[in-house]
Structure 1
Amino acid sequence: MPDTTKSTKRIIPQWLLRLVGFTSLASALVGVAIYLYKQTNKAAKKSLPRTEGDEDASGQSQSSSSSAPLTGKTSGWSFLGSSSGSSVKKRKRVTISLKNTILWNPSSDVASPNYAFHEHGQALLSQLVQHHTVTILLHVSSEEEREQMEHLLDNCRLEGLDRRRVLFCSTEEGKIHLIRHLESQLHIEGGWEYDDGEDIVRKIRPFVPKVIWVITKRRRSSFNQANLKADDHGVVGNNVELTDHLVDTSLARDLGFSEA
């Protein structure tokens, strides 16, 4: 029988056989390395904790930061952000001038203010802030008056009120500018020491969908629909609700207030 090994060596050089052997060994080692790397990587991924923003198998975020309410305090004012996007959409943009609506001044001397909350005023304002996006307008005539009103608001700790939405003005024109700039959907007006707010209501009525005007009962009775004066047509209309107490309005009923 012929020696096949010797004949093979004659056909294939010895260096080529060695090269094939080394190549096979190298390929095997690379394969083993790749396998070990994959196994190590899987184990590392399993051991890592989930972080905010990671998604589960359904593609939904595991982070709770977007649904948790924001809480914090700024200069003594508490602020609680809405936790529901749908509730934000339903909120109306409301501006409210606090004088003669929520606050009143029993002092006969306007130079010596002594402001306090109307009966149910604090509770009504609290509910209003929780259900709508409210900007509070403070029409002030002096620094003393401003400090007094800030003190009252600070002590009542309105939950849901952003401190940046408490704005001050010293003129009727300034208040009108703020109402229009904020694109209020509802404005609540009560006037100030020297005027019951008629000129303000007259000028904003064409631009604000709903106005609640708080005036005295005597002034309210003067707007007799049967004998309405020509000058009164510009201040009263379907979008103006007249009242002598804010708690007796449609807004108060929507917020859960009702007569006992």
Structure 2
Amino acid sequence: MSHLLQDLKTWCNSLFARIFGLLSGASPGTLQLTGVLGLAALLYGLYALRGPPKPDRDEQRAEQIPRAPGSSAAAAPSSDKAHRSDARTSATASSTQVRGEEKSLAWAVRSQLSGIRNVTVSAPGVLLEEWTPTDLQESAVLRTDAAAVMREVLKTANVYVLAHVIDDIGEATVRGALEAGALVGPSAGQIPPHRVLFCSTLEGKTSIVRQLEPELHIDGHPQTIEALKRFMPQLLHVRHPKAQAAGVGSPNVGSAGSLIEVFMTS
């Protein structure tokens, strides 16, 4: 900076010398004009050397302050963020509700099956939409709510499925429905295929249950419930909509309109 000031001083002296040399014989009015020009030249040189004035620090700080969230430039992004936030909140709430329902079913099954290690289930009317061996000759449809309950039961107990059928056609129909619904299979969390048992009479089904000696048997046929109530620790009758409850008055017999009703309304 000192070198620049020295150069400016030298330049100004040279300029004044030339001006006074050229105008030494000029009139007083001319000399006054020349002095003004020389002063202007000096100020211009200083301005060129120092450069334009820097903005005030307060102005710099003012420029660095971000716009308020309510300004027009920030309104659109803020609105987009609000929509995305609402969408995430809605999705989270929906996911939480689903997980809550699954958790409540799991808890209900575990609490009500505490101490039970073996469960036998008669498929018609309980796991399947069809109730009679004749119906099973035509089709078999797995109840999705009953399948969800059984998957939870499988986490705490061994499950055996029984079905009263007329012949091999009924057996194939029942097994196909259970396997198609992924309730029966070789993987963990499924009922092993060898634990799906078939019989051609109600008496045969009663005999199988007594041989397996489960802590709980679930059935949709009232005659089977009546035949087993003297021998089983616990029985559950899943009633047909047009049938009466079986085992009324027996402390070891329960009754419900569906399998999931047993756990979710208790």
Equivalence for 1:245 = 258
The aligned amino acid for 1:155 is A
Q: What SS class does the counterpart of residue 243 from structure 2 fall into?
A: helix
Q: Which amino acid aligns with 2:254?
A: E
What are the within-5 Å matches in structure 2 for residues 1-260 of structure 1? 90-105=115-130, 110=135, 112-158=137-183, 159-190=189-220, 197-220=221-244, 236-249=249-262, 252-253=263-264
Q: Are the aligned partners of 1:136 and 1:167 in contact in 2 as well (CA < 8 Å)? A: yes
Count of aligned pairs = 148
Which residue identity lines up with residue 205 of structure 2 in the other structure?
K
* TM-score (norm: length of structure 2): 0.49
Contact 2:136 2:174 in 1 (8 A): no
TM-score, length basis structure 1: 0.50
Q: Secondary structure at the match of 2:204?
A: helix
**1:106 touches 1:114 (CA, 8 Å); kept in 2?**
no
Amino acid at match of 2:260: V
- The alpha carbon displacement at 1:130 in A equals 2.3
Unaligned runs of 5+ residues in structure 2 are 1-113, 184-188
CA deviation profile, 1:189-247 (whole Å, cap 9, x unmatched): 01xxxxxx222111111111110001134433xx6xxxxxxxx7x66411111111111
Distance 1:189 1:153 in 2: 17
Contact 2:137 2:173 in 1 (8 A): no
**Structure 1 CA distance for aligned equivalents of residues 126 and 235 of structure 2:** 13
The SS at the match of 1:120 is helix
Question: What is the distance in 2 between the residues matched to 1:106 and 1:205?
Answer: 21
Distance 1:145 1:112 in 2: 5
Letter in 1 for 2:236: I
Larger radius of gyration: 2
Code of the residue aligned with 1:202 in structure 2: it is: E
The secondary structure found in structure 1 opposite 2:154 is helix
Q: 1:95 to 1:165 in 2, by over 3 A?
A: same
Matched position secondary structure for 1:104: coil
Q: Contact between 2:164 and 2:199, CA under 8 Å: does it hold in 1?
A: yes
- Partner amino acid for 1:239? N
Cα distance in 2, alignment partners of residues 203 and 235 from structure 1: 13
Q: Is the 8 A contact 2:120 2:218 kept in 1?
A: yes
Give 1 or 2: higher strand fraction: 1
Distance in 2 between residues matched to 1:172 and 1:185, nearest whole Å: 20
Distance 1:140 1:246, change over 3 A: same
| Letter in structure 2 aligned against 1:215 | R
> For the Cα contact (< 8 Å) 2:136–2:173, is it kept in 1?
no
Amino-acid identity (%): 24
Give deviations 1:149-168, integer Å, cap 9, x for gaps.
11112223332422221111
Relative to its length, the structure with more helix (as a share) is 2
CA 1:207 to 1:152, structure 2 compared with 1: closer, same or farther past 3 Å?
same
> What whole-Å deviation, never above 9, does each CA across 1:67-105 have from its counterpart, x for those lacking one?
xxxxxxxxxxxxxxxxxxxxxx95521100010001012
Paired AA for residue 200 in structure 2: S
